[in-house]
């Protein structure tokens, strides 16, 4: 029982220290700290952070699609068509 008490106290101390550290992260680094902490609890986030960069060259068709999407935030595809395309 004594070991369990010390283990809990040590764990709480570690968590308390972590909370204090987070409270002192400079505002400019909060987003990076959030990503790092999320990667510790979310394997999907961790895999995304560790994924290699996309090094395939962008095709002209992809470039045009991105330019079109960024130029007009409204979708020109009706919802029923999207649902039909994805069998929903």
Average pLDDT over residues 49-74: 85
Report pLDDT for 63.
93
Q: Which two tokens stand for residue 61?
A: 């068709």
Distance CA 58, CA 79 (A): 27
Q: What average pLDDT does the structure give for the chain? A: 82
DSSP letter, residue 28: G
Place of tokens 């995304």: 48
Report pLDDT for 44.
87
* 1 pLDDT more than 60: no
Domain coordinates in residue numbering, the chain: 2-50
Average pLDDT over residues 46-53: 85
Q: Name, in order, each residue with C-beta under 8 angstroms of 64's C-beta and a sequence gap of 6 or more.
A: none
pTM for the model stands at: 0.40
7 pLDDT band, cuts 50/70/90, is low
Average pLDDT over residues 66-88: 78
* 2 pLDDT more than 70: no
Q: Is 39 exposed, middle or buried (0-12, 13-18, 19+ CB in 10 A)?
A: middle
């Amino acid at each position: 029982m004594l070991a369990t008490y010390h283990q809990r106290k040590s764990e709480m101390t570690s968590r308390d220290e972590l909370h204090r550290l987070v409270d002192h992260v400079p505002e400019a680094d909060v987003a990076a700290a959030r990503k790092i902490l999320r990667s510790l609890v979310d394997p999907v986030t961790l895999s995304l952070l560790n994924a290699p960069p996309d090094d395939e060259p962008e095709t002209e068709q992809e470039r045009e699609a991105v330019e079109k999407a960024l130029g007009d935030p409204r979708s020109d595809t009706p919802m029923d068509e999207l649902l039909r395309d994805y069998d929903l």
